[in-house]
Each structure stands twice: as C-alpha cells, then as structure tokens.
Chains A and B, each alone.
Chain A
Amino acid sequence: MLKAILSGGLGAALLLSPSVVLSDDAPAPRPVTPIFQEEQAAESGVDTVYDGDWEFMVGGGVSTFDCDDDGFPDMLLPGGSGKSVFYHNESKKGGPIVFKATTSGLEVDNLLGSYAIDIDGDGIKDIILLRRGENIVMRGKGKCQFERANETWNFDGGKAWSAAMAATWERGNTWPTIAVGNYIDREADMEPWGSCTDNWLHRPKAATPQRKFANPLPLTPSYCALSMLFTDWNRSGTPSLRVSNDREYYKGGREHMWHVDPGKAPVLYSEEEGWKYLRIWGMGIASYDLDFDGYPEYFLTSMADNKLQALVTLPKDGKGPATYKDIAFAKGVTAHRPYTGGDWHPSTAWHTDFQDVNNDGLVDLFIAKGNVAEMPDFAKLDPNDLLVQNAKGNFIEMGLEAGIASMNVSRGAALVDFNLDGLVDLVVTNRWKPAQVWRNVTPDAGHFIEIGLKGEGGNRDGIGSWIEVKHDGHVLRREITIGGGHAGGSLGWHHFGLGKDTDVEFRVIWPDGTADEWQKVAADAFYWVSPKKLAVRVQ
C-alpha cells in the first residue's frame, strides 16, 4: 500500500504543491463563486419535513444511492416522528432536479438517518435504517424496492437511539462489518446525562460463505456517538473506526478511535499511541486529503468552533503516532458563528462533506447548521456554510453568494450530482420545515470526472479504496467510505473537479492494496472502473 502511495504522486505533490506555485505573501486568487439555484418543492417534488420533539433533536440524515441502475442518484429522507420518504430521481441530464415520492418499502417512522450499502454483494443497494427504536436493515430487491432483512441476515436492530453508522469489509471477508453509533438511553429522560448507550459492532458470522451477521459486539466504552467513520488514517491497509461523540451527554468521555483488526477484539487508541484528549459536541465527520500528502485530514462538526485535524507526524510504513493538530483556525474553517443574517451567537454544526462545488480541482466544505432547538445562547438564524477552498489551501465563506444560506434549522445533507451535469448539487433536511434542494448552476465551473467503482467479491462498491486523480501538479485523493457526515451518506459516483483539464489521469487503489495502472481518459464524463480493467465510459 505504502509503495502505491509514494509511487502515485507524493513526490509530485512535494515538488508541485500550490504553495510552490504561489509565493507565501502573494494573495491567492479568489476562487470561482459557486452558484446554486433552489428548486422549489413544486418543481423538485421534495417536501419531507424532519419532524418531532426532543427525541429528534439529532439525526435528519440523508442517504443517496442509485437503486434502479439508471445512473441518477435516488434519495431517502427521514421524517423523524413522521414517515420517511423515498424519492426516485426523475431528473434529465443537465436539467432541473426532479424527484418523485415513490413507495419503496423504506417508509418507516422514528427514522433519524440511513446509509446505503450493498451488504450481500448482489450489486443491488441495501439500506440500513437508523432509528429511535429498532434499527432495520432493508435488502434491495431491485427497481427501488426493499424488504426487511433483520431476521434473514441476523441483524440485531436493538432498541436504542441511533444516529451514526460506518461500514468496512475487514480483510478476507465477503460480508461487511457495520458499526452503529447509539446515543442517549431513551428511557433515561429524567437523567439523560451520562446515560450514553453502547455502540455496536456487527461483524460477519463465521461461516462459508458469509451470509449473516454475528451477534453484535458492544463497543465499550461508548459516549453518545453522532458520527462514525472507518478510515485508513495511517495507510496501513487496515481501517480504524473514528467515533465523534457528543460531550453534552457523556461523562468521562472523549473523541474515540478504535483499532478494528481482523480477527481481534476492537481496542481503543491510547494516549501512548498519540491519541489526544479531545472533547467536543461531535456531530459529523468529513475527510479528505487536503494537503496532498497521502493522508486524510478530518473535519469534525461541533458547536461554536469546529475542528480540522491534520496529522502532526506522517506515518512510516503505516505506523506512526495517531496525533492530530487542529488547523481549523489557520485554514479558515472554524465556522463558529453565522456569517450573514445578523445573528452573532455561536453556530451549531451537523452534516458536513468535502466536495468540489466549482470544479476547480480543490474540494470545498459544506456544513449544515441549525440550533438544537430553542437554545438561546446559540444562533437561531444559523445559515449553512459553503467554504470554498482557494489555491493556498485556505477556505473562504461563499454560502451567501452561492445562494445556499438557508436560515432553516438544518441537520442532514447530501452533496451529489443529481442531474448528472458534472456539478455537485445539494439537498438539506430541516427540522419542522421541508427539505430543500439546490441545483448547482455555476456558470464558470471547471471540468470534471465522475467515477463509479465495481469491486470484486462481496465488496461491490470498493469501500476502502482510494481514487487518485492527477491535477495541477498534485494528486487529488479520496478514500471511499460508508459512514461519516451526520446520520447519512452517499453511495454512487465519486466526483472530482478538474479545472481546465480536458483529460485526466487517474487510478484506483483497491481495498486489498492493489493499485491499478494510471489511465488517461477524457474529462466531463462518467466512468465505471473495475480492478485491472480499463475504465468504461457510461455517460
């Protein structure tokens, strides 16, 4: 794996990083302003409200996935105390974003969020429903129809209050390992503080072939997880499980990372391994290799200041201290307070994601914002953020200019190219108000490429792979994960902005560490990629 990283572009990154191109004191050019146009509910067809009282102060996560193989991402929105709604994407390429609410089997109450995942490796997306109450795994039957599979797959849905999930395929397995993050003990409403319930790790049952989950393993101690992510932070080839916890409710808690080594019991990273004591109102995780060094940075949403973590020391041979420094202030992504609307109180941040919204080759950062509920010391008018990265690696708030500065009480979101025009669109869920959909219409956007993975074995979507794209003298690098964000995520095309590049070299490093050869393809297109095969252009 390490060899693949180094031969792939680290050397080039060191030689040609933007800081070399721009002198230290030269101001970075202002990035292209992304422009989003809100699609009204009458046109988009999306009007689901994330409703409910105290029990739904967290959650609201969105999942997107293509369940009918037409290439267009479909969507599941939670209703909180109301029913969730499945939306079939009926957009035309490059046209307005249009959804149609369709009966799918995913319509349930008490839904906080969901993640798509192909559990049984049949090439059809399955969905895990995170609920206040029993979590449900829904098997995809094709044509966007789903059926309950808890019993068939021995998935214990428990009866907790769940808003976080992450998945990985442990080495040698054809069946996924799924971590579910649980929140407060929902029976302890007189003493909710300190009542965090155990997160669960659902590993495959030992059998050949693997077709079921073993009974869940409690991840003790647990501290009210609101986001989880399996990530190969040190490029060792074995992802670890990051857990972001809400300090409002834990006692003795902190941010966590677990060793999840195949065949072994999970073990927490320790201070001796460099894992520092950090206590935040952890609500969401986004990751991306922002500085082109081969290792992801992690953005953690919270209340007031948010965190952007970068490794202090780069690992060698997959080993090194798990010590991170906070570079949010330096990079301009603290996003601690509303930037418009006149409310100066501290912000409350939820879902987050790194995506390139103006196709300039640099990922940007979206943050969904919204008061927990009637917390007067935090902003009531708390616009969502769109922090656009400039050539020096700093971020500039452009939410207002971009047109996405909604003052609704937002929670979940997805940044996905819904109309397959190469521009990342946006959907955001709101407490007590309908979800909002924005179509990205940025006029001066750059070129793009979107890549879908077709992995081997049970891991059909290549979860744990790295996609690398050469651009502007460095390597854009995205780890393919299921998890993170806040209570929802997207499974489908992986988007890269390319600036002025009309063709591009890319490769995939698959979960087993095997790196494909670099291949050059035309920009502004969609490609399916399988191991050791030439990319297949599909759109």
Chain B
Amino acid sequence: MSVVIRRAVLGLFFVCSCLLPLAAAPARAATAPQEVVTGWYKLILELVRHTSNYSPPVAARSFAYIGVTSYEAVASGSDNLQSLAGQLNRLKTLPAREKGATYDDAVILNTVMEFAVTHFFDRTGPTGQHVMKKMAKLMDEEVTQSVAPDVVARSHAYGQILSQAVFDWSKTDGGATVENMGFPLDYKVSGKPGHWVPTSLIRQQQAPLLPEWGKVLPLAMPKGSTCRLPSPPAFSEKPDSAFYKEANEVYTAVNGLSDEQRTIARFWSDDPMLSPTPPGHWINIALLVLEQQKADLPTTVDTLARLGVALSDAFIGCWDSKFEYDLIRPVTYIKKMIDPKWETLLITPPFPEYPSGHSTQSGAAAAAMTHIFGDKLGFDDSTHQADGIKPRHFANFHAAAEEAAVSRLYGGIHFRSAIERGLTQGECIANYVNALKTKK
C-alpha cells in the first residue's frame, strides 16, 4: 500500500475529516473492530449527503438496518450481547457462527459493512461508487494483514451470509424502493382548507415527499400509527383562534430573530443533499460521543443499532401522522392571512407540517441515547464544522433535541404544536427501542 493511499484510509479512520473533529481523534490500532465500524459510518454520512434519493426517512431506514447488521456481527460472537432476532419485527432468526471455530470480529465487521454500504447505497453516483470500492479494498487489506487465511475466509463467509440475511429482511418492510427522489409522479393535493399545498417552485416538489412512508413497517414499534398524535389545533382563519395565534407566533419569531436564534435555526437545518440529514446529524452525535467516551465494541454497535432503529421508526411514525392530518405549512397560511411578502428563514420542506419530523426524530434519538449514556453526558456537536458552522455544546441529549425542535419555529417552517408534540411522539417511539434487550 502506498503511503498516500494508506494515509487516505487512515484518514477515514482517524482524521475524521468527514464530520468528526480532528483534534479529538486518539491514535489507535488501525484494525480495532469498533474503528472498522466508525470508519465505515463516516463514509456512510458522506454517502447520505451525496445520494440523491436519501431524504431523511430513507436515510433513517438505512441507519437502522446497517446498525442492526453491525450489531449482529458482534453479538453473534459475544457471550454478553443478545441477538435482536426475535425482538425486532419480522426478524425471527439470523445465521449463527460455527461453534468452536475461530473468527475475527474486524474481518466480519468489515465484510458486513462493505456489504451493507454497497447494497444500501447502490444508487449513489460514480464518485460514491468509486470511493466505496476503494474503501472496501483498502479496508480489507488493513483488517486482514495479520489474520490467518483460514480465519479470514471463515469470517468473510460468515459476514456475507449474515449481512445477506439482514438485507433480505430489510426488503420486507415496504420501504426498499424509492423512485424520483421520493416524490410521486401522480398526487392529488386535497384542496381542502387548512391542508397542505406545495410551497416550492421546484416542479418535482409539487407532490409531497414519500406520502406512503407512514405505511412502511417499523422495526421496534408495532406499527406506524402506534404513536399517532392527536389532531393539531383546529384550522381557522379567525384572528382569535388558536391556529392563527400559532401562525402569528411563527411570523413574529422569524421577524424578530436574535443572532443566537438564527444560528440555532441554521445549525439544525440539516438539508438533504447538503448535509447528512437530520438522522445523520444524530448518527454523527453518536459517533462523537462514542469517540469522547472511548467506547468499546459492544457499546459502539449497541448504540448505532438502537439509534438507527429509533430514527427509522420515528420517521415512520411521524409520516403516519403527517399524512393523517395533511396540515398546511406556516408560509402558506401566513402569506394568505398575515403578510403576503413574508419569507421563511429556512426552506420549507415539501410535505405536510404536523408533526415536525426533526422534532419527532430528535425526541426519539435523545431518548435512545439517554437510555445508553444517561442524562448527564454533555458533548460538543461539530457535525457541520466542515461547512463552516461552529460546534455547539449541549448539556445532555434532551437539550440537543429541544433545541433541534425549536429551531424549526425559528426557521419559520413549523408551528409550536408540531414541535412540542413531535418531541413527545419521539419519546413514545423510543420506548419501544429502549425495551429491546441487548445484554444477556
């Protein structure tokens, strides 16, 4: 391996130039199994950003299945970890390792990560394909260099059948195929008062994103509607109505934003194809915390599996409610009722308003992370540092989730009810994830 190439591989392991801060990276052996996982995750976050059909729900789904894959790769050889087979919906069994045979965790993990990444990101562009192939080749050289050939072969074979089994299971949830970046070619806008209408001048976005996503089968939550929210405030155009008051709150807030509020809105904007998306933001928080905590392998895979499942189920539950209520966006209402020249700070996402997706998934993520690390773990979130956005410190995961949620009000894209109830919905969904048993 040339010096240049080796440096490039190690860059994805250690330099953390994708999303993690350089200074925080400790020097470790290149083949430590958890670093195989986190190294691939850093590439995944780039692929999420650069794969055109990776809207937030789609990204969250991939995080779930990739997380489960890496978890099972480790759990299958651990005396302390319990398989998620039999706990996650529709996942009855998974292939086991051969008893008494020797395996190498790093080789298995590299095999499953390569399989999962190349299968879940099979639609990425030529640059992503180029990097995936190069990463796989160089990582394989890295993890196998001091392992006996028969162990490499056995570990590789097991990794293949395990990841194939998880991938086959993933295809049964109804969310595997996403076309036209998630925008249906035919969609009839309801036209009823108070219902969603397109807010974008982009032709593709005259239909909402993924209107059927609420029907995708969740992994831990029983079904998409399990944590369905109550109705939003009744739609009304009367100035003394609760609905008008919520809209006026958004209008007033955006017009009077402080620098700090503007910073918060942009910090959590997490636009698809321009960032790792909201679920990717939380995955990066997890990577930062794992790095900060010098987490061992079981904690690493447990965290990424639980968080992935929580995020994925959160988007399914959120989308179930979004299309149940099909609520109008603030920009539509405010332009009609309050100020026709009003503009949002953030780009209004092309789908119904209630509840706020970022709030639901942040609520779920914070609950899942708190379950693992407790509610007193502070961290610096440097997710967008490479985009020139300064890190922010949070006292705990719930503080981050609450800020993420209210950022949507500052951005002018959500009403308060969607924000507060979104957080509540996320906690409801996370309860099912936190009920999963990962330790024997």
Question: Chain A interface (Cβ within 8 Å of chain B)?
Answer: 54, 57, 187, 189-194, 247-249, 251-252, 279, 303-305, 326, 328-329, 334, 336-337, 344-346, 372-378
Smallest beta-carbon distance A271→chain B, Å: 12
Choice from B18, B51, B126 contacting A54 with Cβ under 8 Å: B126
Q: In the complex, what distance in Å separates the CA atom of A375 from the CA atom of B129?
A: 10
Report whether A252 and B387 are in contact in the complex, using a CB–CB cutoff of 8 Å: yes
**Chain A residues in 8 Å Cβ range of B386:** 194, 251-252
Considering the complex, give the chain A residue whose CB is closest to the CB of B42: A191
Q: Which residues from A are CB-within-8-Å of B9?
A: 190
Task: Give B232 Cβ to nearest chain A Cβ, in Å.
Answer: 29
| Chain A residues closer than 8 Å to B126, beta-carbon distance | 54, 57, 372-375
Which chain A positions have C-beta within 8 A of B18? 191
**How far is it, in angstroms, between the C-alpha of A194 and the C-alpha of B46 when the chains are bound?**
10
Cα–Cα distance between A277 and B72 once the two chains are bound (Å): 44
**A377 touches which one: B5, B49, B123, B274 (CB < 8 A)?**
B123
Q: Among A304, A345, A372, A374, find the residue whose CB has the most chain B CB atoms closer than 10 A.
A: A304
Q: How far is the CA of A54 from the CA of B124 in the complex (A)?
A: 14
Residues of chain B whose beta carbon lies under 8 Å from any beta carbon of chain A: 4-5, 8-9, 11-12, 17-18, 46, 49-53, 122-123, 125-127, 129-131, 134-135, 138, 179-181, 185, 201-204, 273-274, 386-389
Interface centre among B11, B126, B134, B273 (most CB of A within 10 A): B126
Supplied contacts A187-B4, A248-B50, A345-B179, 16 more A-B pairs, CB within 8 Å: A191-B17, A194-B17, A247-B273, A247-B274, A252-B387, A252-B388, A326-B201, A328-B201, A336-B203, A337-B204, A345-B180, A373-B126, A374-B125, A374-B129, A375-B125, A377-B181
Q: Given that A252-B386, A336-B203, A344-B185 are known contacts, is A193 also in contact with B125, CB under 8 Å in the complex?
A: no
| Chain B residues positioned under 8 Å from A191 (CB to CB) | 8, 11-12, 17-18, 46, 131
Give A337 to B131 CA distance when docked, in angstroms: 28
- Which residues of chain A have C-beta atoms less than 8 A from B49's C-beta? 193
Q: Give B437 Cβ to nearest chain A Cβ, in Å.
A: 38
Residues of the B chain whose Cβ atoms lie less than 8 Å from the Cβ of A374: 125-126, 129
**A304–B202 CB distance below 8 A:** yes
**Bound-state Cα–Cα, A378 to B9, Å:** 30
Given contact pairs A252-B386, A305-B202, A305-B204, A344 touches B11 in the complex (Cβ within 8 A): no
A190 touches B12 (CB 8 A): yes
For B203, the chain A residues whose CB sits under 8 A away are 304-305, 329, 334, 336-337
Q: CB-CB < 8 A to A337: which residues of B?
A: 203-204
Q: Which 3 pairs between the two chains have the least Cβ-Cβ distance? A: A190-B8, A252-B388, A252-B387
Q: What are 26 A-B contacts with C-beta separation under 8 Å? A: A54-B126, A57-B126, A57-B127, A189-B131, A190-B8, A190-B9, A191-B8, A191-B11, A191-B131, A194-B386, A248-B50, A248-B125, A252-B389, A279-B274, A334-B203, A337-B203, A344-B180, A372-B126, A374-B126, A375-B52, A375-B125, A376-B122, A376-B123, A377-B51, A377-B180, A378-B52
Q: Which residue of A lies closest to B131 (CB)?
A: A190
User: What's the least CB distance linking A277 to chain B, in Å?
Assistant: 9
Please name the residue on chain A nearest to B46 by beta carbon: A193
Known: A54-B130, A191-B11. A372 touches B125 (CB 8 A): yes
CB < 8 Å: which of B138, B185, B204, B274 contacts A304? B204
CB-based contact A54/B11 at 8 Å: no
Distance in Å: Cβ of A269 to nearest Cβ of chain B? 17
Partner among B125, B204, B388 whose Cβ is within 8 Å of the Cβ of A346: B204
Report chain B residues within 8 Å CB of A194.
Answer: 17, 386
CB-contact partner of B204 in A190, A336, A375, under 8 A:
A336
Task: Assess whether B134 is in contact with A189, with CB atoms less than 8 Å apart.
Answer: yes
Q: Which residues of B contact A345 (CB under 8 A)?
A: 179-180
Q: Which residue of A lies closest to B9 (CB)?
A: A190
- CB pair B180 A346 closer than 8 Å: yes
Residues of chain B within 8 A of A304, CB atoms compared = 181, 202-204
- Nearest-neighbour CB distance to chain A for B139, whole angstroms, equals 11
The CA-CA distance from A248 to B201 in the complex, in Å, is 21
Which residues of A sit under 8 angstroms from B17, Cβ to Cβ? 191, 194
Contacts A251-B386, A252-B387, A329-B203 given: A346-B127 contact, CB under 8 Å?
Answer: no
Closest chain A residue to B52, Cβ basis: A377
For residue A328, which residues in chain B have a CB less than 8 angstroms away from its CB? 201
Question: Using Cβ atoms and an 8 Å threshold, which residues of chain A touch B8?
Answer: 189-191
CB distance from B403 to the nearest CB of A (A): 21
Q: How far is the CB of A396 from chain B (nearest CB, A)?
A: 15
> Which residues in A have their C-beta under 8 angstroms from that of B130?
54, 189
CA A376 – CA B127 in complex, angstroms? 13
Q: Which of A187, A344, A376: most chain B CB closer than 10 A?
A: A376
Closest to B49 in A: A193
Tell me whether A192 and B201 are in contact in the complex, defined as CB-CB below 8 angstroms, given that A247-B273, A248-B50, A251-B386 are known contacts.
Answer: no
B131 near A192 with CB under 8 A, answer yes
Instruction: Give the distance in Å from the alpha carbon of A375 to the alpha carbon of B18 in the complex.
Output: 23
- Tell whether, in the assembled complex, residue B134 and residue A190 are in contact, meaning their CB atoms are under 8 Å apart: yes
Closest chain-B Cβ to A307's Cβ sits at a distance in Å of 9
Which residue of B is nearest A190, CB measured? B8
User: Which B residues lie within 8 Å of A305 (CB)?
Assistant: 202-204
Q: Could you tell me the distance in whole angstroms from the C-beta of B181 to the nearest C-beta in chain A?
A: 6
Query: B residues within 8 A CB of A193?
Result: 46, 49-50, 127
How far, in Å, is B2 (CB) from chain A's closest CB?
Answer: 12
CB neighbours of B134 from chain A (8 A)? 189-190
In the complex, what distance in Å separates the CA atom of A248 from the CA atom of B125?
10
B52 and A329 within 8 A (CB): no
CB of A431 to closest CB in B, whole Å: 11
Residue of A nearest to B185 (CB): A344
A303 & B52 in contact (Cβ 8 Å cutoff):
yes
Question: How far is it, in angstroms, between the C-alpha of A345 and the C-alpha of B387 when the chains are bound?
Answer: 29
List the B residue with the shortest CB-CB distance to A249: B127
Q: Which residues of B contact A372 (CB under 8 A)?
A: 125-126
Alpha-carbon separation in the docked complex, A350 to B388 (Å)? 28
Question: Which residues of A have CB within 8 Å of B4?
Answer: 187
Could you tell me the distance in whole angstroms from the C-beta of B57 to the nearest C-beta in chain A? Answer: 15
The chain A residue sitting closest to B138, CB to CB, is: A190
Contact of B11 among A190, A247, A326, A375 (CB under 8 A): A190
Q: From residue A50, how far is it (CB to closest CB) to chain B in Å?
A: 15
The distance in angstroms between the C-alpha atoms of A373 and B125, with both chains bound, is 7
Complex Cα distance A29/B389, Å?
Answer: 51
Q: How far is the CA of A345 from the CA of B52 in the complex (A)?
A: 12
Query: Which residues of B have CB within 8 Å of A378?
Result: 52
Nearest-neighbor residue (CB-CB) of B386 within chain A: A251
Which residues of A sit under 8 angstroms from B201, Cβ to Cβ?
A: 326, 328-329
B127 touches A192 (CB 8 A): yes
A187 to B5, CA, bound (A): 10
Chain A nearest CB: distance from B265 CB in Å?
A: 13
Q: How far is the CB of A279 from chain B (nearest CB, A)?
A: 6
Measured in the bound complex, the distance between the Cα atoms of B53 and A328 in whole Å is 23
Residues of A within 8 A of B388 (CB): 251-252
Task: Give the docked Cα–Cα distance between A287 and B180 (Å).
Answer: 29
Closest residue to A57 on the B side, CB-wise? B126
For residue B435, give the distance in angstroms from its CB to the closest CB of chain A.
Answer: 36
Nearest-Cβ distance from residue B117 to partner chain A, whole angstroms: 14
Distance in angstroms from A471 CB to nearest chain B CB is 31
Interface contact A54-B127, CB-CB below 8 Å: yes
Q: Which residues on the B side are within 8 Å of A344 (C-beta)?
A: 180, 185
Residues of B within 8 A of A303 (CB): 52
- In the assembled complex, the CB of A219 is this many whole angstroms from the nearest CB of chain B, namely 17
The interface residues of chain B lying within 8 Å CB-to-CB of A329 are 201-203
User: Can you name the residue of chain A whose Cβ is closest to the Cβ of B125?
Assistant: A375
Q: How far is the CA of A191 from the CA of B204 in the complex (A)?
A: 30
B28, chain A: closest CB distance, angstroms: 19
Q: How far is the CA of A337 from the CA of B206 in the complex (A)?
A: 14
Q: Which residues on A sit within 8 Å (CB–CB) of B122?
A: 376
Contacts of A57 in B (CB 8 A): 126-127
Shortest Cβ distance from residue B127 to the other chain A in the assembled complex, whole angstroms: 6
The smallest C-beta distance from B99 to any residue of chain A, in angstroms, reads 39
Q: Which residue of A lies closest to B182 (CB)?
A: A377
Q: How far is the CB of A411 from chain B (nearest CB, A)?
A: 14
Contacts of A377 in B (CB 8 A): 51-53, 123, 179-181
